[in-house]
Amino acid sequence: MTVTALPNLVPTAEREPRWMPTRAGIVNVWRYYDEILEFHDGRLLLRGPNGSGKSKALELLLPFLFDANLRANRLSTFGTNERTMHWNLMGEGASGATRVGYVWLEFRFPGEPGRWFTCGARLQATSRTTAVHADYFTTALRVSDPDAPDSFALTDANRPLTKAALAERLGEQGTVHENAADYRAAVRSTLFPVMGADRYDALITALLQLRTPKLSQRLDPALLSSLLSSALPPLDRDEIADLAEGFERLDAQRERLARLGEEVAATRKLARQQQTYAQRVLRSAAANLSTATTEMDKLAEAAKSSAAEYERTAALELETQERVGNSEANLSVAEGEREGLIKSPAYQKGLELDDRRRETAKARRWADDAEAKSAELLSRAERDGAKHATALQAVDQWERVVATAGIEAGQSARRAGMTGIHHELAADPGSRQSRTLLSAAVRAKRGQVDHMLTVLTRHDNAVTRRTDAETDLDKARAALLAAEHEHAESERAFETELGTLREAVRSWAGSCDALSFDDPDAISDLVEDRPALVEAANRAATLRLQEATRQETQHQNEIDAVTVLRDACADEREQLALEQDIPPEPPRWRTADRAGRAGAPLWRLIDFADGLAPRTAAGVEAALESCGLLDAWVGARGEVAGHDLFADPAAVEPVSGRSLAEVLVPVPGADVAPEQVHRLLSSIAFGERLPGEAVAAVGADGAWRLATATGSWSKVHPTFIGASTRAKAREARIQRLLAEIASHDRRLDELREQLDHCAAHRALIESERANLPAFTAVDAAEKQLTRTESALSTADAQVRDRATTLTTREGEVRQTQHALAVAAAETGLPTDRPALGLVVEAIENFSGQAGAWLDSHADLRAARGTADTAQALAEQSAADATTYAKTAAAAEDEYRRAAAELAAIEESAGQDYQQTLTRIDQVRVRIRALNDSIKTDRATLTDLAHRLGRLDSQRTTDLAARDTAIATRDEVALRFRHLAGGTFPEDSRFPDLPKFRATLAASEGVRAALDAARMISAAWPTIPHSPTNISEAMRRLADSVHECRTALSTRADLDLESDGEVQVFAAVIDGVRVGCAELLRIIEDEAKQAENEITEHERRLFDHTLTGDTRRHLAARIRQANELVDGMNARLKMVRTASNVAVELVWQVGKDCRPAPRPRATCCSKTPRD
């Protein structure tokens, strides 16, 4: 860093000591990590290329650390809103969700080495909001100075300090201020102790203007006016304290109401989106619980059914096992009987006959089976022969199709010019490469045609552009001739109109009455210099208008002042006319609402005793009013919201001696029983002067005592006690107001008449100035001349441009024509579009025909393969049928032989053997039946065993599914209870929320959750609750939360927290976590409360202030300001800028003044009439 010593224009010894900046620092803001800038004798020069951070350092340090204002247009050196403090912290590639930084300035006081002052700000921003939180601090310590023993660092382990850590390090030698206003006040009182708040604001404004880059090129006249206005003598703060306090209070209240209105609107929109989302989430959870319960019931029924089926099958298995046991026992008996018969002598004798019978039966069965098998094979051979014949017919048909398709493909190839590719395909149409070869050839041919069409299109476009260029050139030449003729006519018309205007101005200058000119001919000579002519007319009119303006302003200011007074009287008269009684003025601390409360104030319950002297009555009422008892509430107190004053009749025992009951009597028929009122009056002592014994006492002279408090007051007449007294007071006040209104009306008529006279004189001046001959005709002629000159130049340029364009277009036509000839020679294709279209059609036709030809070849190959397969199958079937026919004949011969042998043996067998053989046959039949039964039952047992296994597995699966369904139902019920126990029901505006809460809380079981879910389903049967509907509602809710974060950034932290598959809205306001409905209720209640905070007393404050001593003091100050402005203008008349611009100050009520206080401000700016 280079330090350059600057000359001191004022000797150091003659300077008044003041604070001087020594160092500045930026920690973790923008691209500054930990930068310290050192001043030299209070001056700092920053040099560097664009983008190095010079302007950014100013934005972050000065005047921000004086201003404590985070608005972007006050931070930016250009006064724009592009770069906010949030961008300085979270922009430029900042990582993380939160960033904290510090900026600070250090000052020293010359001549006192140990006197230092440091001011700074801790800045914190998050990526979730666009707001920046600032904590401002001031201290007598130094920051990060190794030479200072009591210096402190703003970081800890390279991390910026938290707010608590900062306050701990500052200790008693520094302060972390609660708000920016306190910080500004501390900086102003330390560094600029002689400056008030207004001059301090003017200083900051000047710094903002002086910090602007290229100040001389961007000078803001409005800001210059503001800076000069700040140089006017300041008003005494004590003189305008009441006025400023009232305006500030109302402005702050109005801004707060507007801000609350915006917050309520934003929160209502958010609540609507949250309501939709909560309804859909609850409806989905209720539907999930109902579905899970239904599924659980269905699976439980299935488990019950499978268990019953398993038990029934197990019983059937036992029954079958028992039957198998019985059959096996019977089988054993039958086999024993058979063995006995076989061993009998009769059977042994005829055993050969039995063998023969079995062999004969076996031969019969073999012969029958062979015959059946031979018939079946013969039928199959006939069917396979028929299939072979059909396949041969298909082969013949496909051969004819292939021949026809080949001829058609050859013809289409000749039309498309692709005979070569056709010959290649015909050489081997059945190969796998034939289809690829066809596609490649067709694609190549199409590419040639497309290229030819592209070249042809370029040629056509070039010819079209050349034709258009020829047409444009002809049009441009015609337009040039027309422009030359029109320009000549415009020159003649302009000279004529200029001479006509010169004569008109000479005539106007001589005919003016209110405006006067020394030399009308000199005025007419100014027609060629319009600004000078208008300036001369305005100069003459301004002198007359200034006087008219002065008179009008004086009259209008007085009209406004009188109008304010008259309206106040009229408003009060109308209010008195509507009210039966005029109540005492309520104290500021009374906030309770008395409407509808049992009882009444004391002044409505009492009246003066008959014959009471007026002086005594006035003193008694003055004492009761000044001590507060006159408006105290008498009656049942109970619980009261707010603050009020009560008079309890039974609180104090009646006094002995004189009491208020002597001079005051209860009003019959009032809201409080007369006995209680009399009891209250009897407990207050009374005397001509204040009695000295009683706890509560009132004197006829207006003195009073309540316990240890005493006081006094006096009134000329009573105004509140007694109906007749209140009526007289109200009527007297109305009469006074009517007299004041009449007086104000007379004065307003006089002032309006004077104002009308001024307006007429002003109208005459304005009329004569307005009658200055207009430049309309000359302007039109000059404009027409300028337009024709421009048109002539444009037309000439267009002719040259069009000629150049035509030359270019002719060259393009020659180039495209050559390219077209080259393409035709290379491809052999025609050069006209219709012929190319026929070629494209032929190519497409060949592609289709050749494809069909190749497909027919494939079908022919398939048909031939099918025929060969059918032939082989038919031959095999015929051979099998012949073989089995021979086998069947041999079996038949064998049977005949066996039957003959059996017949011969049977003839020789005896009678006993026949009977034994018959019994053996019967036993064998029974054994076969028992074996069949056992076999069947054992098969049944095997099937039952498999079935029992399946049923057992099914039973186990169903039980597991039922248990899983129960667990799922319980989990869904728990999830529903979790969602329903949060903020969703309240946010969803459920119709009967207390009943829903009670139903859900009836038990911790599933039944209560299911009943609550059914309530939701019954309340919202048509609410869409699919995942898509919930996602859409979630998206809209997220958008609303994002929008609402900005509106509520200073009130609440809004967030959407993930809770499983849903997002739960949460708001933290004043450290309390609430839902959306509760957030809306809090903000709406606060808005309603704020609307009721502007009292009638505050509205009357300004009328009283603006018509009292404060206005007179303000008027005196304003007159001093007028004198200052006049003196400055006298000096400014002798000064002009380099561009010959003069500056004149005007001291008047600002045009941006709001309509409501503007009449009052105008009234204060002139001398008031008391």
pLDDT beyond 60 at 1168: no
Q: Strand locations in 792-836, DSSP E? A: none
Query: For residues 686 and 699, is the Cβ–Cβ distance under 8 A?
Result: yes
Domain with CATH 3.40.1140.10 in the chain: 12-194
Predicted confidence band at 587 (pLDDT cuts at 50, 70, 90)? confident
pLDDT number for residue 91: 80
The DSSP-derived string for 59-88 is: HHHTTHHHH----HHHHSTT--SSS-HHHH
Helix (H, G, I), strand (E, B) or coil at 1097: helix
pLDDT number for residue 252: 67
pLDDT beyond 90 at 918: no
pLDDT beyond 80 at 461: yes
pLDDT number for residue 1115: 63
Higher pLDDT, 712 or 246: 712
Indicate the pairing of strand 696-699 with strand 685-687: parallel
pLDDT tens by residue, 1049-1073:
777 888 888 888 888 888 888 777 8
Helix (H, G, I), strand (E, B) or coil at 139: strand
pLDDT number for residue 410: 79
Q: Smallest Cα–Cα separation from 1149: which of 344, 414, 229, 527?
A: 229
CA dist 111 to 19, 108, 114, 979, Å?
A: 10, 9, 9, 70
For all residues of the chain together, what is the average pLDDT? 79
Helix (H, G, I), strand (E, B) or coil at 629: coil
Q: How many CA atoms lie within 13 A of 651 on its CB side?
A: 15
The DSSP-derived string for 993-1037 is: HHHHHHHHHT-SSHHHHHHHHHHHHHH-TT---SHHHHHHHHHHH
Return the biggest CA–CA distance within the chain.
Answer: 183
Query: For residues 635 and 663, is the Cβ–Cβ distance under 8 A?
Result: no
- What is the DSSP code (8-state) at residue 527? G
Mean pLDDT of the region 352-371: 72
Helix (H, G, I), strand (E, B) or coil at 138: strand
Q: Smallest Cα–Cα separation from 249: which of 1151, 1089, 1102, 1165?
A: 1102
Sign of CA dihedral 1031, 1032, 1035, 1040: negative
Taking residue 304's Cβ as centre, other Cβ atoms within 10 Å add up to 14
Percent of the chain scored above 90 by pLDDT? Answer: 7
Mean pLDDT of the region 614-630: 87
β partners of residue 705 = 697, 710
pLDDT number for residue 354: 65
pLDDT tens by residue, 196-233:
887 788 788 778 777 776 554 445 555 556 555 554 54
Taking residue 1104's Cβ as centre, other Cβ atoms within 10 Å add up to 12
* Rounded Cα–Cα distance for residues 463 and 812 (Å): 8
All residues at 6 or more sequence positions from 1075 whose CB lies less than 8 Å from its CB, including other chains: 982, 983, 986, 987, 1065, 1066, 1067
pLDDT beyond 60 at 107: yes
pLDDT beyond 70 at 237: no
- What is the DSSP code (8-state) at residue 991? T
CA dist 247 to 508, 566, 853, 1099, Å?
A: 52, 22, 100, 10
Predicted confidence band at 1098 (pLDDT cuts at 50, 70, 90)? low
Taking residue 75's Cβ as centre, other Cβ atoms within 10 Å add up to 24
Most confident of 25-29, 486-490, 826-830: 25-29
* Rounded Cα–Cα distance for residues 305 and 307 (Å): 5
Q: Is the previous residue joined to 63 through a cis bond, with omega within 30 degrees of 0? A: yes
User: What SS3 string covers 246-266?
Assistant: HHHHHHHHHHHHHHHHHHHHH
Would you give the distance in Å from CA 72 to the centre of its chain?
A: 22
Helix (H, G, I), strand (E, B) or coil at 238: coil
Residue with tokens 């070249």: 455
What is the torsion angle, in degrees rounded to the nearest 10, for the CA atoms of residue 964, residue 965, residue 967 and residue 968? Answer: 110
pLDDT tens by residue, 137-161:
999 999 988 888 888 899 988 889 9
Query: For residues 973 and 941, is the Cβ–Cβ distance under 8 A?
Result: no
Taking residue 803's Cβ as centre, other Cβ atoms within 10 Å add up to 14
pLDDT number for residue 448: 80
Environment class of 1134 (CB within 10 Å of its CB; exposed 0-12, middle 13-18, buried 19+): exposed
pLDDT tens by residue, 786-799:
888 888 888 888 88
pLDDT beyond 50 at 1097: no
Mean pLDDT of the region 35-46: 89
pLDDT beyond 50 at 173: yes
* Rounded Cα–Cα distance for residues 413 and 405 (Å): 12
pLDDT number for residue 723: 73
pLDDT beyond 70 at 532: yes
- pTM for the structure as a whole: 0.32
Mean pLDDT of the region 744-767: 83
CATH fold of the domain at 12-194: N-terminal domain of mukB (3.40.1140)
pLDDT beyond 50 at 248: yes
Higher pLDDT, 190 or 920: 190
Mean pLDDT of the region 656-669: 87
Environment class of 1054 (CB within 10 Å of its CB; exposed 0-12, middle 13-18, buried 19+): buried
- What is the DSSP code (8-state) at residue 154? S
pLDDT number for residue 39: 93
Higher pLDDT, 58 or 885: 58
Percent of the chain scored above 70 by pLDDT? Answer: 84
pLDDT number for residue 349: 54
pLDDT number for residue 21: 95
Amino acid (one-letter) located at 532:
A
Predicted confidence band at 1133 (pLDDT cuts at 50, 70, 90)? low
Q: Smallest Cα–Cα separation from 128: which of 825, 973, 1057, 1009?
A: 1057
